[in-house]
Amino acid sequence: MNIFTYSYPVKVYFGEKAAANNLVTELSKVGKNVLLAYGGGSVKKNGIYDELVGILKEAGKNITDFTGIMSNPTYNKVKEGARLAKENSIDFILAVGGGSVIDCCKIVSAQAKLDKDIWDYEYAEHGAPTEFIPMGAVVTAFGTGAEMNNGAVITNEEKMMKSPLWGAFYNFAILDPSYTMTMPMKQVISGAFDSLSHSMETYMGSPRNVNLSDEINEATQRNIIRNIRATLKNPDDIEARSELIWAAAMAENGILKIGKVTDFQCHMLEHQLGAYTDCNHGQGLAVLHPVLYRHMLPEAAPQFARMAVEVWGIDADGKSEDELANAFIDALADFIKEIGLPTTFKEMNISEDTDFRAIADTTILTGGCAKKFDRDELYKVLMECR
């Protein structure tokens, strides 16, 4: 295990009525002007918006709406939010939604306090923002675990890059499983698969000797797999939904990453696929993972073989390490089909004419991956996914 220091700033309020029971207390700690951020109209249709506005008004807050935050949030949307924050002297941001809203607001929080363009500041000057507008998150769509960290994935349409930016941690996050019960099932499953992907990408990092973080990770993966199946069997099973929303947070609250350098090569490749196609993130990961893992197999066989046994319950008796490693990839691919996620880009309606060469050539290469990919091999992966 690598040397580490562990501390975490995000307070979590988990369970039904978490907003009603705790939000007023948290709001008493911040100023009067609140930016209420959300995506489309779902939070208004399901009543969550009205509930939160009522709590904000009860706390005596002035509300400015920041709406229309899209899936795969754009850098222009970040700049819009930062302008609103400055113009309205915003003291606090309340992000309501899933990973897209939550990610967008992390960078709004930083950009509103920064006199220079945050994209150039982080990528050209290699700076890190140090001042932020305080924030809280109300999670209504789970999977990304975005409420648990200060990283955001933002699409810069001018640069054709869907890339990480670093902003603020949330002061607190409200995880009420009942808020997620109106999510479309396709969104539930693709979000939960993103959580599984986060866990696998962390597990596949280095060092590759199994440590306590990895053993907790194995349990998290088993939990996600079991509760995706339970949710598909009974969409009204709030206990299964509760497990999935907490598993998403566990995958990104740092605990699984303690003492490790993570992989996340699959995520970096999918991000650039998203920059060029605006595709669904979880679906893109589902298509990419088995293909990428077959390319990784010679270098990653020991970890794949262990996941076959410890996560997927495959009997190791009489099987070689390579046979177990292949069995893991087969089990993952079969599970993706079982839960109704796509297995090819064609199923995602991604055109054959997509510039896969440009996607590969602009993908960030990660240092923690078991295999040191070059962009030619990433191009091969993309072409095999068609």
Dist. CA 296–CA 346, nearest whole Å: 23
Task: Tell me which residue has tokens 């939000």.
Answer: 23
DSSP result, 104-130: HHHHHHHHTT-SS-HHHHHHTS-----
Topology annotation, domain 11-180 = Rossmann fold (3.40.50)
Number of neighbouring beta carbons within 10 Å of residue 7 = 5
Confidence class of residue 7 from pLDDT cuts 50, 70 and 90? Answer: confident
pTM for the predicted model, two decimal places:
0.95
User: What average pLDDT does range 157-161 have in this prediction?
Assistant: 95
Least confident range of 7-11, 25-29, 130-134, 286-290:
7-11
CATH number of 191-384: 1.20.1090.10
Q: CB-based contacts of 221: which residues, under 8 Å, 6+ apart?
A: 196, 199, 200, 203, 307, 311
Per-residue CA distances from 310 to 15, 176, 194, 307 (Å): 29, 30, 20, 5
**Helices H / strands E in the chain, number of each:** 14, 8
Instruction: Specify whether the CB–CB gap between 152 and 110 falls below 8 A.
Output: no
pLDDT at residue 40, rounded to an integer? 84
Domain boundaries of the chain, sorted by first residue: 11-180, 191-384
pLDDT at residue 115, rounded to an integer? 94
User: What average pLDDT does range 288-298 have in this prediction?
Assistant: 98
Q: Tell me what percent of the residues of the chain surpass a pLDDT of 90.
A: 95
Q: What is the pLDDT of residues 309-365, one digit of tens each?
A: 999 999 999 999 999 999 999 999 999 999 999 999 999 999 999 999 999 999 999
Dist. CA 229–CA 236, nearest whole Å: 13
Q: In the numeric block, which tokens belong to residue 68?
A: 């229309």
Is 182 or 92 the better-scoring residue by pLDDT?
A: 92
pLDDT at residue 41, rounded to an integer? 82
Q: What is the pLDDT of residues 92-138, one digit of tens each?
A: 999 999 999 999 999 999 999 999 999 999 999 999 999 999 999 99
